[in-house]
Amino acid sequence: MSETITALTGTGETDANVQHMSMQLALNRALDEILADNPKSVIFGEDCGRLGGVFRITDGLQSKHGEDRVFDTPLAESGILGMSVGLAMAGFHPIPEVQFDGFAYPAINQIVCQIARMNYRSRGTLPMPITLRVPSFGGIRAPEHHGESLEALFAHVPGLKVVSPATPHDAYHLLKYAATRPDPVIFMEPKSRYWQKGPVNLASADMDTAAHDAGTDSGGNLTGARVVREGRHLTLVAWGAMVARCLQVAELAAEDGIDVEVLDLRWLKPIDAEALATSVGKTRRAVVVHEAPLTSGLGAEVAQLITQSCFATLKAPVERVTGFDVPYPSGDLEDEYIPNIDRILFGIQRVLEYRRG
């Protein structure tokens, strides 16, 4: 398991700039530094101020930076995102939070019809530098509307960028990077990973210096995907919480002599098609893993990109291991819904055993 942890975090070295922290603390630290660096940045949402958020991501920020920069809002997601539009038009950098993924639905009109379009509608005179934080995906046994996977919905909308970190290190650096973008970024945080700890290099965005210098890892590039485990026989493509699960699967597969590569997509819009082509071009087989339902999920887009670039060399069709085409279940059933180790291993087996004709 230590090998999995090292691969996932991308660094095991001891360094003055490397601190061991949870993803929750990494996000909190990133927001603290964003507020300090940019006086136009403001953080707001339901319980984001005095309480510090349901998951305590904004804990202590109001007392440090003031009630005019970190504040609570009414329970009205459409109002939160509508206010974000007005603040962006006034020159601020809003960092709103939707308390849970499923609560984003009431604000879809503001996100799709205003935030995503305003820059185009104004011919560039009204950019929307909004970083929308969305605690996302399942894994915490919460009630209905608390375990949604909305990446395909957001990725389908022109004008939005979508990113999901898998490690504390990524969470820290990707959030700081997103907050410097002139475009709206949907920042999907895997809430089941909030309390998982790992090393965070506060000085560098490079995940694995040796691998990056060797040209085998795009970790130093905050706009691309990242190979978190090298392999020869098959590529597992995942994002968010599923990256850690895929690394567990890769270790188990290795016991049977199957060398699995794990690619953390990170950016879900735009997708790093070059990284997909490079990885699957090497392994010639791919399985895409995500928590969202199968039909029209983002895995279909990933599979098409792989097929488009690797059609001549693929040894099997791209397999998808996903959630089911049902509403997200209650907490006592989510272990059956979220792709588990056995389902992913069966997906690998189907791809490896595929025979043409």
Residues forming the active site: 146
Give 352: exposed, middle or buried? Use CB within 10 Å, 0-12, 13-18, 19+: middle
- Torsion, Cα 276 196 250 161, to 10 degrees, reads -10
Scored b (16 or more CB within 10 A) or e, 156-189 reads ebebbbbbbbbbbbbbbbbbbbbbebebbbbbbb
45-50 own/partner pairs: CB under 8 Å, 24+ apart: 45/72, 45/73, 45/80, 45/96, 45/97, 45/98, 45/99, 45/133, 46/72, 46/73, 46/74, 46/75, 46/80, 46/97, 46/99, 47/72, 47/99, 48/72, 48/73, 48/97
SS3 content of the chain, % helix, strand, coil (to 5): 40, 20, 40
The CA distances from residue 107 to 119, 121, 193, 211, in Å, are: 18, 19, 25, 41
* Residue 185 parent element (H or E): strand 185-190
**Sign of the CA dihedral 232, 244, 294, 98?**
negative
